[in-house]
Homo-oligomer: A and B are copies of this chain.
Amino acid sequence: MLSYIHKKNRKYGAIPGSLIHLGRQKTDKIKFSKIIYDEEHFDRDFPLSIENCFPPSEKPSNTWINIDGLHEIKVIDYIGNKLKIHPLLMEDILNTTHRPKWEEYADYIFIVLKLVEFKSELNEVRTDQVSIILGERMVFTFQEMERNTFEPIILRLQNSVGRIRKMGADYLVYSLMDLIIDSYFNTLEKIAEKIESLEEEIMSRPKEQTLKKIHKLKREMIYLRKSIWPVREIISKFQRSDSKLIKPATLVFSGDLYDHIIQIIETLDIFRDLLIGMHDTYLSTNSNRLNEIMKILTIISTIFIPLTFIVGVYGMNFHYMPELGWHYGYFITWGIMLILFIMMFLFFKRKKWW
């Protein structure tokens, strides 16, 4: 959980804008890949050294440089200097606990998003930060570790599927954002399956384990919300953007992203309501069961405690107890106990306890 807090204290009193990597080292070595493409060409360099990334590309092609791994500060620093990006932004890239954001500057747009993944077996949400810098005919993406997240887009670029090669770097950024938001749907679907299985569990035979799983999931949903909620604002900024880097042809697509993110947030809300509902169901089922248990105890006790008292009476050893000498005393006692038993039975019957 601690990872949700920006560990600023590792640099308490440090100069704002100084680069410190805040996050686990998720990859061994920073890896670079460079894709240069335009309507006619596609070229991919991988792996390559940092020096080969600059200058990004000769005009008029588009260049996409992807950086996997954030732990080598001097490498990140080098990129920041090359791109003339404000140190505070480079700090944000390194701080992997940063909240999603969209910031427009004169020469570039800076975007932070979260990839989310639901580990169904661990009942846990994992997030990876993706930072995107969109410049003139140029896209930089920063990931915490090497993943093949962007493979579908690389393939579309390579095979020139759809309009991706025909459009500019802004459309590439849109495609990346669309892909990330698509990953939210995957996550939601896995969570939905988990919720369904928990719901079944709680309806058939709830155990303490079930409850703990629900609580765990509720907690994970709190974290997930934090990663996804700000994306709505981001898409909204995208839609209203008047940066020259975003062309009108790309703006059209942002409405679609907005519809998706609204649907995701609504689904998150539904999930929360469902989890609250399940907790309530659990509690009321439990309360029901307690009543059932107590009914059994009460019925048994109420019937047999008085009877036990009666047989106790005739187990006393007083020298003079006239009933003991009666010939049918024993049978009369049985008769009385039977009548008592029937009365108790009718009492509980009338109370509709069974």
Contact = CB atoms under 8 A, between A and B. Distances in A.
Given A13-B182, A86-B252, A280 B215 contact: yes
A289 to B, nearest CB: 6
B13 A153 contact: yes
Contacts of A18: 162
A126 to B, nearest CB: 17
- How many copies make up the complex? 5
A8 B306 CA distance: 62
Interface stretch (A50-58, A67-75, A236-244, A327-335): A327-335
A85 to B, nearest CB: 13
Interface stretch (A23-31, A114-122, A204-212): A204-212
B101 A259 contact: yes
Contacts of A329: 318-320
Interface residues on A, range: 35 or more
A220 to B, nearest CB: 11
A196 to B, nearest CB: 6
A302 B301 CA distance: 8
Interface in A169-204: 175, 178-179, 182-183, 185-186, 188-189, 192-193, 195-196, 203
A181 to B, nearest CB: 8
B318 A333 contact: yes
Interface in A277-315: 277, 279-291, 293-298, 300-302, 304-309, 311-315
B307 A318 contact: no
A336 interface: no
A267 interface: yes
A109 interface: no
Contact of A311 (B284, B309, B323): B309
Q: How would you classify the secondary structure of chain A's contact residues: helix, strand, loop or mixed?
A: helix
A293 B296 contact: no
Contacts of A325: 319
Given A223-B270, A300-B306, A185 B317 contact: no
A106 interface: no
Contacts of A166: none
A317 B253 CA distance: 93
Interface in A125-164: 151-153, 155-156, 161-164
A279 B280 contact: yes
Contacts of A101: 259
B226 A7 contact: no
B99 A266 contact: yes
Given A4-B270, A13-B179, 13 more contacts: A8-B182, A9-B186, A9-B189, A12-B183, A91-B256, A101-B259, A208-B288, A215-B280, A286-B288, A304-B308, A314-B317, A319-B325, A320-B328
